[in-house]
């Protein structure tokens, strides 16, 4: 069922009118698509929320909201669902479900769960009957496992179909039949054991299909997604933190009713090992999920782990026990950008950052003859808005070519194109010139960096 958000007008009234609510979080402002009378919905939520309550927003998925409309019973008439916390306790989250009868909203159900935060909320059909279940993840705080409750609504009464602890979870079509499945990753810190469980529909009932053991001697699991691992095969991509300076990605393939780990080569180095977490995503927009692995640029061996300007290299599963390289990116969280490395730069560049932490500058540098011939190919610089007019005048006075890439949070991000280098000649200069980018190429290779959740 399509998720419908309450309009900004409704939510702003709910949050500012007489229930002790504070400023409106942006997460509560979802797209206006409500069919019912907005004023009556507003009044109903106000009427049935306990005194002193405050709406609470789910942490995951990203598009979740504190108040939404969902048809939980399959009768074609959506219910209002609101999540809230009261002043009485920090360890309880309330759920309010309203239904419409005779043109009036009434309370259909009200229940609560134990948790300091609302980790996850989604409405998805897991039983195959065409009616969405309500998935609620109750969170206890950092470092603690959560607990998932899956509810169906029969005659406006919530029935708990599943209650299970989890570390991270993912929902998606795992077998390609347009039916959604649930994957739970469960990590036990005490026993240092982990497993993945898959739940799906069997005869219109939610059942556990299979499970598989995972690495248990790790710091923790951070994220899981379901998506295409190849053009013909779906997979579960699980991100794990191994230690202070190490992480990996676990790939699970659902095959003939069971899960398998195609990249788990016993006795060999894990091919997805990386110094820091780098989450899997469809980096090139081809519909297939890529696994991110860091690559160290040339000439940075003397730098500490934290100082190395790592390259984000992305790989696709090759269908066997290995990975195939797709493309490289440089991603700067300080400057907030992602720059796809052009193919023609392969093995001919490195990255240099200004050692002064107060100067937000990154240089993409030509690295010819194993570093004997070096010259700047492109510079990225973040400039405070109040200094931009002065910097812009300086660029123009020196006839320095530049390109404004973004203006946000009172900062201007610019790409500065180089002048002709004086230290190159002959073949090195010709190779250098072949690597230079046009302004159109820079725009195509640049994108704002989406911060990981």
Q: Is 277 left (phi over 0), alpha (psi -120 to 50) or beta?
A: beta
Q: What is the mean pLDDT of the chain?
A: 88
Instruction: Report the distance separating Cα 123 and Cα 115, nearest Å.
Output: 19
The residue-averaged pLDDT of 115-120 equals 94
Binned at pLDDT 50, 70 and 90, residue 131 comes out as very high
The pLDDT value recorded for residue 6 is: 41
Q: Is the pLDDT of residue 159 over 90?
A: yes
Instruction: Report the distance separating Cα 361 and Cα 184, nearest Å.
Output: 41
Q: Is the pLDDT of residue 98 over 80?
A: yes
Binned at pLDDT 50, 70 and 90, residue 65 comes out as confident
Specify the pairing of strand 411-416 against strand 446-448: unpaired
Contact status, residue 125 vs residue 151, Cβ threshold 8 Å = no
> Helix 38-48 and helix 8-16: axis angle, to 10°?
30
Instruction: Report the distance separating Cα 427 and Cα 432, nearest Å.
Output: 8
Is 0.85 surpassed by the pTM of this model? yes
The pLDDT value recorded for residue 180 is: 97
- CB neighbours of 182 closer than 8 A, spacing ≥ 6? 126, 135, 150, 169, 170, 171, 198, 199, 200, 206
**pLDDT tens-place string over residues 365-374:** 999 988 889 9
Among 14-18, 193-197, 326-330, 349-353, the range scoring the smallest mean pLDDT is: 14-18
Contact status, residue 82 vs residue 67, Cβ threshold 8 Å = yes
Contact status, residue 172 vs residue 122, Cβ threshold 8 Å = no
Binned at pLDDT 50, 70 and 90, residue 377 comes out as very high
The pLDDT value recorded for residue 228 is: 97
């Amino acid at each position: 069922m399509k998720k419908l958000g309450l309009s900004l007008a409704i939510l702003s009234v709910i949050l500012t009118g007489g229930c002790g609510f504070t400023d409106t979080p942006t997460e509560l402002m979802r797209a206006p698509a409500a069919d019912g009378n907005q004023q009556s919905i507003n009044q109903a939520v106000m009427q049935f929320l306990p005194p002193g309550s405050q709406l609470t927003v789910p942490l995951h998925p990203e598009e979740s909201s504190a108040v939404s409309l969902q048809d939980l019973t399959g009768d074609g008439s959506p219910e209002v669902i609101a999540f809230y916390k009261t002043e009485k306790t920090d360890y309880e989250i309330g759920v309010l479900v309203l239904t419409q009868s005779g043109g009036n909203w009434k309370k259909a159900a009200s229940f609560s769960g134990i948790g300091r935060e609302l980790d996850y909320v989604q409405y998805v059909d897991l039983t195959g009957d065409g009616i969405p279940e309500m998935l609620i993840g109750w969170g206890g705080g950092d470092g603690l496992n959560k607990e998932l409750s899956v509810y169906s609504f029969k005659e406006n009464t919530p029935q708990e179909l599943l209650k299970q602890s989890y570390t991270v979870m993912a929902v998606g079509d795992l077998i390609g039949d347009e039916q959604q499945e649930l994957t739970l990753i469960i990590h036990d810190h005490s026993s240092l054991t982990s497993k993945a469980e898959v739940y799906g529909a069997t005869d219109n009932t939610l059942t556990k299909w299979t499970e598989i053991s995972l690495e248990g001697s790790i710091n923790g699991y951070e994220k899981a997604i379901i998506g295409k691992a190849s053009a013909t095969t779906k997979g579960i991509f699980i991100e794990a933190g191994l230690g202070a300076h190490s992480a990996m990605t676990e790939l699970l393939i659902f095959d003939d009713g069971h899960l398998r780990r195609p990249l788990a080569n016993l006795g060999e180095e894990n091919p997805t090992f990386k110094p820091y977490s780098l989450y899997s995503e469809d980096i090139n927009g081809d519909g297939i999920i890529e696994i991110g692995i860091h690559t160290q640029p040339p000439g940075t061996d003397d730098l500490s782990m934290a100082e190395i300007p790592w390259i984000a290299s992305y790989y696709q599963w090759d269908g066997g026990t290995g990975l195939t390289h797709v493309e490289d990116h440089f991603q700067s969280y300080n400057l907030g950008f992602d720059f796809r490395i052009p193919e023609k730069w392969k093995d001919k560049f490195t990255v240099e950052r200004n050692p002064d932490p107060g100067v937000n500058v990154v240089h993409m540098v030509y690295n010819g003859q194993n570093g004997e011939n070096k010259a700047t190919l492109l510079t990225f610089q973040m400039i405070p808005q109040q200094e931009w007019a002065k910097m812009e005048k300086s660029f123009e006075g020196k006839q320095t070519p530049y390109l404004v890439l973004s203006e946000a949070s009172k900062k201007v991000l610019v790409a500065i194109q180089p002048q002709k280098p004086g230290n190159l000649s002959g073949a090195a200069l010709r190779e250098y010139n072949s690597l230079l980018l046009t302004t159109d190429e820079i725009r195509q290779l640049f994108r704002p960096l989406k911060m990981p959740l």
